[in-house]
Each structure stands twice: as structure tokens, then as C-alpha cells.
A and B are shown apart, each in its own frame.
Chain A
Amino acid sequence: MSERPTVIAIEGLTKRFGEITAVDAVDLDLRENEFFALLGPSGCGKTTLLRMIAGFTGPDAGRILLDGRDMTPVRPNRRPVNLMFQSYALFPHMTVTQNIAYGLEMEGCGRDEIRRRVGEMLEMTELSPLKDRKPEHLSGGQRQRVALARALVKRPRVLLLDEPLGALDKKLREQMQLELKRMQHEVGITFVIVTHDQEEALVMADRIAVLKDGRVMQVGAPRELYEYPASRFVAGFIGKMNFFAGQGRGAEVAFGDGVLTGTAPGGVELAGPAVAAVRPERLRLAPQRPEGSLNAVPGRIVDIAYHGQDLNVHVEVRGAVDSAGGEAGARVLVRLPAGEAEEGDWQAGQDVWCCWAPAHTRVLAM
């Protein structure tokens, strides 16, 4: 993926609103034909960043290069990028066809070309039967497709999507995640999506930038972020994670009576408070302390929940920190494949050892 050429280069981009720095010296490369997600909790600056790429918000410092050209002085209507608004912002007085044709009319396309390209778009988004309807007579999912078609018909260099699935119900959202991915593939245009939903980003994106307080915490493929988080924040924000807090030494964390071994990002030598992080599905349970080099911590089972394909076992471990980040004595989540663990193997109240391989352990600064 790294060999794809850059479309948009963001360099030291900063935006302040009064006291708050919404976007703080962000550097990012958006590449040709990729599905890129800006992921972060609300207020992390992801929407501001998107609006700056679209041109609706000007930077206080830094710049955005599109195909090498500085976009700073270029008005939104002159940028070869299109934004799909969170509210969809369809023109309520126009039909579906008129909404989609609008952008082409503004470009000064000929009537025949407009008809052809709008027709193609209606076809691709399966909106043909609804083409003469006004937005008020469309469902949420249909409006979303009109908004998408209206932006895509312009064949932008980059399509920006601001929480595109936020207004849809869960079932439709999951269906649209795959459909958006399919469409991105079909049109070969770079999609940049803003979302606070880490699952959505994992499912759809080729690469994800995790943002917090206006800063980019980490950029990488979903798997990279999931398996090798570079910070405590990313580890906790993406997926479920168990944390064991202690004193860090190199790639080890002193925990309880023993030491938990893992890998630290970029081979950084840690000294000071740190956590050993491990995914619930990497943990196994044992009645006794296992022999060998496995990491192991003792605890007591407090709850077992059957989830069909797996069994979620909650173990109370003194000194563990839950993924929300906090108090000691929190619960550790162990996810056992249902095929591996028979019902009745484990009981609430039982004393057990949670164990896992050092290879699956990330050692991160507190």
C-alpha cells in the first residue's frame, strides 16, 4: 500500500478556536485510491480537519497540498474535493435527479453529459426508481445514497465523508459500511471518512489515523493499529484491551510479584509507570500457574457470559486497569473460543491464572 502516490499532503496543519486548539500540527499523507479513516472521540478535531480539507475552515498554520498544489487560497467551490455532510444537506426543493445534477451544472457540463453521468450515478446507487422524488419522500438510507451520488458524480480527487452512517440504524449501518467500501473500490477515488466508531473504521478503512485532542496519535492499517498500538490511548480506543499497570523497565512491566514481558513500540526503553496491554482473545485460563515463559497473573472469576461463538470470562485481578483507564482491582476480560472451552470448565468464584504469550503483549507508557 505504501507505494501508492500521495494525493493530499497535510503539513503542520493547525487550527485554534479561541483557547482551544482543535487541530494541532497535523501531518498526514492521503494516498491515491485508498479508504482512509479519521478516527477519534468527539472533540478530537476530526471534523475540523475534514472541513479544512474541503476549504470551509482556514488554517492558522500549516498547509494542505493537493497534487502538490497549495490549497490554502483556494475557495471550496474551486477545490477538486467534495464533502458529504453529516446532515446530508440535500437541497429540499430539488428532486433526486436535480440534486445530483447540480454539481455538474455548476461545472458548466453540457446537457447530454449531465444526463449521462447522472444516469450512471442513479444506476450505481440504485436510485433510479426514486429519481423524481424530493428528499422529504426518501428514507434515511436513501437520502444518504443521494448525498453520496451528488458528491461522487463530480468525480472529485478526494471524497470527504463526515460521519456518513451516523444517522442510520445499526442494521442499515453495517450494510452501508460494506456498500461504501464496494463503491470506493468501484470508482477508484480516495475516500476520507470521519468517524468516532472504531469498529466502523476497522471494517471499512485501508488506513486509519487515530486522533486525540487535535493530534494524530497513530496512523496505520487496521491490523497494525489493533496488534501494535503505539500508545496507551490507541490501545484502549481500538477494540477491547486489558491493561496491567506497574513499573516499566525496558520492555517489561513489574506486576504483582512477577514481571510481564512484551514488546515496546519502536523499541523504546521504558522507565517509569507503564502498562502491559493484551487483547481478550489472546488470554487463556489455567487452574495453576503455568510453567515456562508465559506471562501470568492470578485472579478470581467473577462472571461468565456465553456469547455464541465465544465465552466471555471476567476475572478480577488485583492491580489491573480496565480499558476505560482507571482504578485498580478492575476486571480482566478473557475471551475463550466456545469450541475450546466446555461449559462447566470454569465457574464463578474459582481462582485461576490468566496467561498469555509475551509476543501478544504491548508494553506502553502510562
Chain B
Amino acid sequence: MPRSLLRDWLLLGPGLTWLALFLVVPCGMLLVFAFFERGVYGGIDYIFTLENFSRAIDPLYLSIFLTSAKVAGLAAVIALLIGYPAAYAIARAPARRQTAYLVLVMLPFWSNYLIRTYAWIVLLNREGLVNKGLAGLGLVSEPLPLLYNEFAIVTGLVYNYLPFVVLAIYSSISRLNPEVLEASEDLGASAPRTFWRVTLPLTLPGVAAGAVFVFVLSIGNFITPDLLGGGRLQMVGNVIYDQFLTARDWPFGATLSFILIGIMMILLFSQAMLVRKAQGEGGIAHA
């Protein structure tokens, strides 16, 4: 084996071993479980069947997948709409202030995910700060139904994943050659036209990365739908959770998981292709 190859494998070794043991093996087990029958008292009966898959495409479960996709998509779009301007502002700020802004963006991660989600319950419930504030301002007479619905779930998901979107887009924008934007203006483009024709196309890899990130993390999320949705809106993550822990139907839970992983893989792959294409084209902008 050539020396450099040996070195590469040595360096990759720990990471690969970790991934193999704790990602590839469990995923492989999931795939295997998906083709067997459930045991009468939980667990697996090793009898081959395709019934789990035919059950998964039942309209009931399809509609849960669609709802999950809708909620995740909505969260991704809203996160982009909020995150892009923020990322733009940070990337265009004086260099010494950028780090401070980025730290502020990451600040929520210093507290626990569950605690942050409970905080939203405090904010959004009928007697919560938001409703009290609105009532105090005389804007509403009745408390608004802000909690235990789709609005609350989307709000929670956007809140949680927004920092990733900001970071992904920030890195795209900060790599833009400012002279390319000036060239657009010099050639007669107004600021909005420069944005649509130059800035946005060149930062699309960051936008795609952010969007896929939010979507993938949201569609499989079960804590936020559970806590902020109050269990009224079933997302696929909740169903899988229930199959494993309540219904004790491991094979069916495995099947749903596997379909979910498949959707995520397709999205991540498409995004990787987009990035590769854009990087190929971005040679000058990044030089």
C-alpha cells in the first residue's frame, strides 16, 4: 500500500469505525427489521414479509408523511426568509463585528433544547407573554390560539434551526467577491436587480444547504410536535416514536424510519450535486 494511502486510512480510521459501529450497523438493522413480522409481545419474529411496506403506503400514513413534509417545508421557507437578510447583514458588517454577531446567533445552543422548547410554551400559551402583551396593547380582546397547533410547531422548528440557516448562508455570502456586485451596479443594475441576477444565484449553495438542513431535521423531529403541537398534529417522527415505544411494533417503526431516511438521503444528495455544480462555476468569485 502506498504510504500516503496508508496514512489516509490511519487518519480516517477512528471516524470510520465510529460511523460504522453507531450509524451503519443500526441503519442496517433497521433495514433488516423492516422485512420481518412483529413479535406478539414486541420484538421481532424472523418471518419474511413485505406487509410493513404496503402498510406504510396506506393513505393514513401517506397523509402523515405529507403533513410532516408540509410542516418541514414551511419551517425551511420561513427560516430562509428570516435567515437570509440576517446572514447578509452579518456578512456585510465590519469584519471585527462579524464574529460577535455569529456568537450571538449561536447563543441559544448554550441552553438545552428541551428547556428552549418549554420556554416557547411559556411564551405562546393562552396566559403567555405574547397573548398578555397583545391584550395589554389592546390589539386582541380574546387570547389567540398560539399553542398546540401547526403554528406553534413551525415556530418552534424555525426557532431551533434558524442559526444553521444563518451560518450556511453567511458562509456563502462572505465568499462572494464584492467586486462582482460592484460590476453589476457599474453595468447599470439597480440594487434589487443585482440581488436577483447576481447575489442570489451565487449564494444558492448556502440557501440550499440551509433549507435542506432545516427540512431534514424538521421532518423527523418528534419533540417539538409533541410539546408545542400538544400531540394534536401527528408527524412522522411521532408515529415512529410510538411504534417503537408504545405500540411495540419495531418492524413497522423500522419501515417508516427507513422511508424517512430515504427521503433525507435524496435531498442531501441533490443538495450536494447543486453545491458541486455551483462550486465549479464559482472559481473566480472565490479566487
Contacts and interface: CB of A to CB of B under 8 A. Distances in A.
* Same complex: yes
Given A87-B177, A136-B280, A136-B281, A93 B202 contact: yes
Contact of B197 (A89, A102, A143): A102
A258 B184 CA distance: 62
Contacts of A90: 180, 183, 284
B142 interface: no
Given A93-B202, A143-B284, A107 B177 contact: no
A158 to B, nearest CB: 12
Contacts of A136: 280-284
Interface string A64-85: 0000000000011110001101
A102 B187 contact: yes
A75 to B, nearest CB: 8
Interface string B164-180: 00000000000001011
Among B202, B280, B281, the most chain A Cβ lie within 10 Å of the Cβ of B281
B186 A77 contact: yes
A56 B186 CA distance: 9
Interface in A219-247: none
B189 A77 contact: yes
Interface residues of A, number: 28
A106 B202 CA distance: 18
Given A76-B182, A89-B180, A154 B284 contact: no
Contacts of B282: 92-93, 136
A135 B282 CA distance: 9
A88 interface: yes
A56 B283 CA distance: 25
Contacts of A54: 186
B285 interface: yes
Interface string A141-161: 001000000110010000000
Contacts of B179: 85-87, 89
B44 interface: no
A77 B183 CA distance: 9
B183 A92 contact: no
Interface in A28-67: 54, 56
A85 B183 contact: yes
A89 B183 contact: yes
Nearest to B197: A102
Contacts of A85: 179, 182-183
B261 to A, nearest CB: 32
Nearest to A51: B182
A76 B180 contact: no
A135 B283 contact: yes
Nearest to B183: A89
Nearest to B280: A136
A135 B189 contact: no
B188 A107 contact: yes
B26 interface: no
A154 B284 CA distance: 23
Interface of A: 54, 56, 75-78, 82-83, 85-93, 102-103, 106-107, 134-136, 143, 150-151, 154
Q: Which 7 A-B pairs have the closest CB atoms?
A: A106-B188, A103-B187, A136-B283, A89-B179, A89-B183, A92-B285, A92-B284
